[in-house]
C-alpha cells in the first residue's frame, strides 16, 4: 500500500507503476552476485532510488556483515520505511550495523571511498535532460573504476512517450536518449532483458571506466 500511495502522490520521482519483480531484482544484482562469488574482501554497494525495497531485499541476501551498504532515497516516506525494515524485518536486520539510508538527492551525496556496485532504480525518463546528466556524473563520481553501475528502463518507454507527447516533451526525451546512448557506447558491458516484470524492462550494466566493449 505504501508503494501505490507514493506512486499516486510522487509519480515524477517514483516512476514505476508496480514494485520490481524478483526477476528484475536478480538481473539488476547480477554483477553483485558475481563479485561476491569471486572475492573474499568486504564489498561496497550503493542503491539509488530503492523505493520500498524490492531490489534491496535481493541485495541484502547477497551481502554479509562487514560489507558496506548505502541507500540513497529522496522520498522521505520510503526512506523511513527502509530504516524500519533494517530494524524490524528479520530478512534485513542482519545488516542493520552496516546499512545506512540517506534521504538526500544523489547529487548531494558523498562517500569516503568508491563503490564496487551501484544499483539504480531512478526513473530517468521522467526527469529533465539536465538532471539526467547530473545523475550520471554522480554515478561515475561515486563508482570505482572496476565497479559496475546497473540501471533499468522499461522497454520502449521513450518511443511510446514520444508518440503521445507534445513537442517540448519529445525534445526532452530525445536529449535523454542521447545522454544514455553516449554513456552506453563508452561504458556498457552487457544488457539484461527482463520480460517477467510489469512493464517488461531491460537493464544496462555500465563499467566504472569508459570505452568498455559492449557484449
For the chain, which domains are there? 21-207 (3.40.50.150)
% the chain with pLDDT above 70: 88
Contacts of 100 (CB under 8 A, 6+ apart): 69, 70, 71
pTM to 2 decimal places: 0.88
Residue 164: the pLDDT is 73
For 18-50, the pLDDT digits (tens) are: 577 999 999 999 999 999 999 999 999 999 999
| C-alpha distance from residue 129 to each of 81, 89, 156, 179 (Å) | 30, 37, 18, 8
**10 Å Cβ neighbour count for 44?**
20
* Partner residues linked to 11 by β-bridges: none
Average model confidence (pLDDT) for the chain? 89
CA dihedral defined by 154, 155, 156, 161, rounded to 10 degrees?
Answer: -10
Residue 215 has pLDDT above 70, yes or no: no
Written in H, E and C, the secondary structure of 59-94 is HHHHCCECEEEEEECCCHHHHHHHHHHHHHCHHHHC
Give the pLDDT confidence of 112-131 residue by residue, as tens digits.
999 999 999 999 999 999 99
Amino acid at each position: 500500500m505504501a508503494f501505490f500511495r507514493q506512486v499516486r502522490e510522487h509519480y515524477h520521482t517514483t516512476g514505476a507503476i508496480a514494485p520490481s519483480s524478483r526477476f528484475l531484482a536478480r538481473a539488476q544484482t547480477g554483477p553483485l552476485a558475481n563479485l561476491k562469488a569471486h572475492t573474499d574482501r568486504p564489498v561496497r554497494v550503493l542503491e539509488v532510488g530503492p523505493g520500498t525495497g524490492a531490489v534491496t531485499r535481493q541485495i541484502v541476501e547477497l551481502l554479509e556483515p562487514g560489507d558496506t551498504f548505502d541507500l540513497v532515497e529522496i522520498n522521505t516516506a520510503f526512506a523511513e520505511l527502509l530504516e524500519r525494515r533494517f530494524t524490524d524485518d528479520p530478512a534485513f536486520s542482519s545488516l542493520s550495523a552496516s546499512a545506512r539510508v540517506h534521504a538526500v538527492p544523489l547529487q548531494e551525496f558523498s562517500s569516503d571511498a568508491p563503490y564496487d556496485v551501484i544499483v539504480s532504480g531512478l526513473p530517468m525518463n521522467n526527469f529533465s535532460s539536465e538532471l539526467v546528466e547530473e545523475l550520471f556524473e554522480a554515478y561515475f563520481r561515486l563508482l570505482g573504476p572496476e565497479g559496475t553501475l546497473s540501471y533499468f528502463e522499461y522497454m520502449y518507454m521513450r518511443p511510446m512517450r514520444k508518440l503521445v507527447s507534445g513537442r517540448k516533451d519529445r525534445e526532452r526525451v530525445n536529449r535523454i536518449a542521447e545522454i544514455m546512448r553516449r554513456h552506453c557506447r563508452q561504458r556498457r558491458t552487457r544488457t539484461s532483458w527482463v520480460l517477467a516484470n510489469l512493464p517488461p524492462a531491460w537493464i544496462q550494466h555500465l563499467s566504472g571506466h569508459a570505452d568498455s566493449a559492449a557484449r
